Amino acid sequence: MAETDFKISMRDVHKQFGPKVVLDGFNLDIAKGESVVVIGGSGVGKSVMLKCLLGLLTPESGAITIDGENIIGISTGQRDRINHQIGMLFQMAALFDSQSVWENVAFGLMARGTSKSDARDIAVAKLALVGLGSEVIDLFPDSLSGGMKKRVGLARAIATDPEILFFDEPTTGLDPIMGDIINDLIVHCVEETGATTLTITHDMQSARKIADKIAMIYNGKIVWMGPTGDIDQSGNDIVTQFIHGRIVGPFQATAQL
Amino acid sequence: MNFLQPIGNVTFAFLATIGRLIVFTGTALLHSVRSPFYPRIIVKQMIEIGYFSLPVVGLTAIFAGMVLALQSFTGFSRFSAESAIPNVVVLSITRELGPVLAGLMVSGRIAASIAAELGTMRVTEQVDALTTLSTNPFKYLVAPRFIAGITMMPILVFIADIIGVLGGYLVSVYQLGFNAANYLQNTYDFVEFIDVFSGLVKAAVFGFIITLMGCYHGYHSKGGAQGVGQATTNAVVSASILILCFNYILTGIFFAVDG
C-alpha cells in the first residue's frame, strides 16, 4: 500500500539529538480506524516518534503524512488544521493547573470558537463518558488523584471528537486496577468515536487490551509489527525478551550502555 | 592548541544563546501584535505585575526618597546648599531611583514567578498540550506577559516617583525642618517633563526585559525541578544585569538628547 492509503504514515524518518540517533529510518503505517500500540524500552524513541507526529519536533529527514498530506515543515496555520483532528492524552495528563476540570476539558473547544456555555455542556458530557460526575467539574487539577487526572486528560483528548487519538503511557503511575479502568475507558472511547489511535507504552497488559496491532521499536526502528494475537509467536528475540521482561537478551547490551 | 577548544565551545554556546534569544524575542513580539489576543489573560497579568507589585515598589520608593533626603542634607549642608535638596530628590527619583529600584524589585518578583510558572508548564508537558489543543504557546503564555510588563511598569514607576518624592518631603519637612510649601514649590518648579518621561521610557524597557527574561528562561527550562530552579535563578540574575546595562545605555541616550 502507498503511504497515501493510510491514515498515518511515517517513512524512513530520522531524528537525532547531537550525536545520539533516536529514530533511524523509522517506518510505521496505521490504517483508518486501527488501534496500534508501539512498545519498547525506555529511551528508544517512542516519545520522540509521537512528538514528531504532533509537530513538536521536526525530523532531519523522512516523510510523515496524515490522510496522505505531508506534515513536515508546514505552516502554523496548516499545523493547527492538522491538530484539529488530533486528541492527545499525555503521560502525566498535562492538565492546566490554573484552570478547573471543565475548563481543561473545554479548552480545545473554546480555542476553536465554541461558546463557553456550549463548551461547558460538552465538557460535562465527556467527563460523564470517562466516569466523572458533576461534583468534580469545578475542582482544580491539584485536588485530583492520579487516576482522576488521567480520566480528565482522556476527556480533554476526546472533547473535540478527533479522528486521531494519541496516548502516551496511559497507565504509567497508576495501580493495576486503575490502570485497567483506564484501558477499558480507552477502548470504550475509541469505540464511541471510531478514531484511529496510536499508543506508546511499556505496559504489556495495556497493549494487549487496547491494540489491534502491536509494533516493537528498538534502536530507532520498528523491529516487529503484527496483530496483537501474534505477539507471543513473533519469533523475534527482542520482542520475546521484552514481553517476558527477561534480563538476558538483546536489550541487555542497550541497558549496559 | 587544546586550550583553545573550551574557549571555542564557550563562544559558540554564547552565540547560540544570543541567537535563540533574538529568535525568541522576534517571535514573541510578532505574536504580541497579531491576533488572536487573550484579553482575560492580559488583564490577569496586568493585575499580577502592576497591582500586586505596588506594595514592594511603594515601600522601596518611600525609603529611597527618605534616605536620599537625609544623605543629601549631610552633603549639602557642608557648603550651605540645603535648599537644593528638593531638586536633588525629585531629579534622582524620577530619572534614576524610581525606574531602577522598581525594575530590580519587580525583576525579583515577576521574572522569577514567570520563569517558575512557564518552566513548570514546560517540564509537565502543559506547553506541549497547548500546541495539541490548537493554541500557540507564544500567543497564550508569552504575549500577554509582554504586553502586561511593557504597559504596567511605567504606571508602577510613575506611582513610585510620587511616593519617592513624598518620602523625601516627609523627612525634609518633619525631620530637617523645611517649610512644606516651599519644598513642594521647589520640587514643582524644578522638575521637567523630560525627567519624568525618561524614567517612564526606562520603565517600559525594564518591563520588556523582565518579562522577556522570565519567559525565555521558563520556556526553555528542562530537567524537572532542578531545571525550573535554575531557570528561575537565571531569569532574575539576567534581568537584573540587563536592567543595569540598559539603564546606562538609556541614560546616555537621554543625556545626549538633553545636552
Record: contact B134-A88, CB cut-off 8 A: no
Spatial contact of B221 and B116, defined as CB atoms under 8 Å apart: no
Q: What is the pLDDT of residue A252?
A: 58
Instruction: Give this complex's ipTM.
Output: 0.86
Identify all chain A residues contacting B135, using CB atoms and an 8 Å cutoff.
107, 111
Give the strand pairing for A20-30 and A8-17.
Answer: antiparallel
Task: Give B-chain residues touching A156 at CB under 8 angstroms.
Answer: 133
- Domains of chain A, by residue range, sit at 1-85+200-257
In this prediction, residue B12 carries a pLDDT of: 92
Specify the pLDDT at position A4.
61
- Residue in chain A nearest B135 by alpha carbon: A111
Measured between CB atoms, which of B125, B126, B133 is closest to A111? B133
Residue whose grid cell is 483532528:
A85
Scan for cell 480520566, then name that residue.
A151
Please report the pLDDT score of residue A109 as a whole number: 93
Cis peptide before A170 (omega within 30 of 0): no
What is the CATH class of A1-85+200-257?
alpha beta
| A246 contacts chain B (CB < 8 A) | no
H helix or E strand, kind and range, residue A164: strand A164-168
Q: Indicate the residue of B126, B134, B135 with minimum beta-carbon distance to A94.
A: B126
Q: Which residues contact B120 (CB under 8 A, 6 or more apart)?
A: A97, B126, B228
Render each residue's pLDDT in chain B as its tens digit; 259 residues: 688 888 998 999 999 999 999 999 999 999 999 888 899 999 999 999 999 999 999 999 999 999 999 999 988 888 888 888 999 999 999 999 999 999 999 999 999 999 999 999 999 999 999 999 989 999 999 999 999 999 999 999 999 999 999 999 999 999 999 999 999 999 999 999 999 999 999 999 999 999 999 999 999 998 888 999 999 999 999 999 999 999 999 999 988 887 6
Half-sphere CA count of B60, side-chain side, radius 13 A = 22
* The three grid cell numbers given for residue A19, joined into one nine-digit string: 550525536
Residue ranges of chain A whose pLDDT lies below 50: 253, 255-257
| Grid cell for residue A249 | 537478551
